[in-house]
Amino acid sequence: MTSTDGTTGAWRRYAVLVASAAVVVAGTLGLIGLADAATEADGLAAFDPELTAEAVSHRTPVLTAVARGLTFVGNPPVLVTLTLVAAVILWRWTRTWRTPAVLLVAMIGSSALSSGLKLLIGRARPDVTVVLGPVSNTFAFPSGHALNSTVFFLTVAALVLARIRSLRNRTAILAGAVVMSIGIGLSRVYLGYHWATDVLAGWTVAIVWLVIVLNVARFVRDRRT
């Protein structure tokens, strides 16, 4: 490697680090704002009842079936199963424990963040009269389905993309991960389990946590190589 290549690589790493830090700071501030709005029922949270009523008014048998399917994928037992299966596949594919370890750490941390923030904020869910399905007695903020599913799909996508060169395949994988993450989050509002700001908070925490995990994984990899 020439000195020019080394300098370019160093600047690229610094640029990624700066961008990642900006995402973490912006996401953290955004989460604080959403939490404050959720507890005070103002700001973006003031629109939650209206958005829930709008979602309820557009329910159809087909949309309900799709929403229930998406929510099923985001259920904790299903995500745990998918995580273990994906970890085994990644291990057999890469022949290293580090790649599946990134996924496992990401998901364990995601679950802990979801549970901890729910207890910290203590926000009630929408009225049970709008819920399509079994009633949940846990707190609402943030949406665990949105948070955990986003971390899972985007982490898997990031780990796979690192080993695929085809632009078409990379685009398809990333698009699929984003669509699933958004779809599962929206299904929670549609089915009446969460307010819109709960889902937005779940996505926000997921992105911040994902950026942290992937940067730590990159740092560990660079130190080893």
Integer Rg of the chain from CA: 19
Tokens of 127: 């009225």
What's residue 133's pLDDT?
A: 84
What's residue 193's pLDDT?
A: 94
Please give the C-alpha separations between residue 114 and each of 62, 117, 121, 219, in angstroms, as whole numbers: 30, 5, 11, 25
What's residue 183's pLDDT?
A: 96
What's residue 64's pLDDT?
A: 96
What's residue 4's pLDDT?
A: 53
Burial class for 178, CB neighbours closer than 10 Å (0-12, 13-18, 19+): middle
Instruction: List CB contacts of 47: < 8 A, sequence separation 6 or more.
Output: 196
Q: Which amino acid, residue 36?
A: D
Task: State percent of the chain over pLDDT 90.
Answer: 69
What's residue 14's pLDDT?
A: 77
Measured between alpha carbons, how far is 199 from 189 in angstroms, rounded to an integer?
8
Burial class for 3, CB neighbours closer than 10 Å (0-12, 13-18, 19+): exposed
What's residue 61's pLDDT?
A: 95
What's residue 41's pLDDT?
A: 85
Q: Find the DSSP H helices in 122-166.
A: 144-161
Residues of the chain with pLDDT under 70: 1-10, 222-225
Measured between alpha carbons, how far is 73 from 79 in angstroms, rounded to an integer?
7
What DSSP state is assigned to residue 58?
Answer: T
What's residue 219's pLDDT?
A: 80
Q: For the chain, what is the mean pLDDT?
A: 90
Please give the C-alpha separations between residue 198 and each of 8, 18, 54, 123, in angstroms, as whole numbers: 41, 28, 16, 9
pTM of the complete model beyond 0.85: yes
The torsion region of residue 126 among left (phi > 0), alpha (psi -120 to 50) and beta comes to beta
What's residue 11's pLDDT?
A: 76
What's residue 163's pLDDT?
A: 86
